[in-house]
Amino acid sequence: MTPGSAIHLTISSDPAALSVVRAVAARSASMADLTLDEIDDVCIAIDEAALQLIGAGADTVRISIDASTGRLTAKLSAVGTIGDAPETPDAEVGRLILSALVDELVFGADSVAFVKRGVTV
């Protein structure tokens, strides 16, 4: 994988699949020359974003990760329709965690997208 390459994954709603997503996100963040702390932030953020969609009822989640030097962009989308599940306290906490970890964050009706930028010296 080279910087600027996009990776696409599709996972079931089984939380056990998140370990693979975190591993791919960590490698992508490493290729983007993010620091170890930033890589950890990306792993936690991608985990929380996927759990947001799974918690809302997604059976399958499509994930796109694009890494370039000093920047990682991730978009997670529910495949199919998500029901009108009520907002839970866990979902609210997850959104707060996400907003603290990433530089840009967008929630859609059936998607979550974020950008993590590396520290510039």
The pLDDT tens digits of the residues spanning 11-39 come to 998 889 999 999 999 999 999 999 999 99
Domain holding 16: CATH number?
3.30.565.10
Does residue 50 lie within any of the structural domains? Answer: yes
pLDDT score for 87: 66
- Convert the pLDDT of each residue in 63-100 to its tens digit: 999 999 999 999 999 987 676 655 667 778 889 999 99
Does residue 2 lie within any of the structural domains? Answer: no
Domain that holds residue 42: 7-117
Quote the DSSP letter at residue 77. E
Quote the DSSP letter at residue 108. -
- Convert the pLDDT of each residue in 50-65 to its tens digit: 999 998 888 999 999 9
- Cα–Cα distance, 6 to 20 (Å, whole number): 16
Q: How many domains does the chain have?
A: 1
Does residue 1 lie within any of the structural domains? Answer: no
Tell me the whole-structure pTM to 2 decimals. Answer: 0.89
pLDDT score for 92: 84
CA angle 50, 64, 99 (to 5 degrees): 50
Q: What is the chain's mean pLDDT, rounded?
A: 89
Alpha carbons within 13 angstroms on the beta-carbon side of residue 34 total 27
Asked whether 38 and 118 are in contact (CB, 8 A), the reply is yes
pLDDT score for 48: 94
Does residue 21 lie within any of the structural domains? Answer: yes
Asked whether 70 and 118 are in contact (CB, 8 A), the reply is yes
Query: At residue 54, what are phi and psi to the nearest 5 degrees?
Result: -65, -45
End-to-end alpha carbon distance in the chain: 25
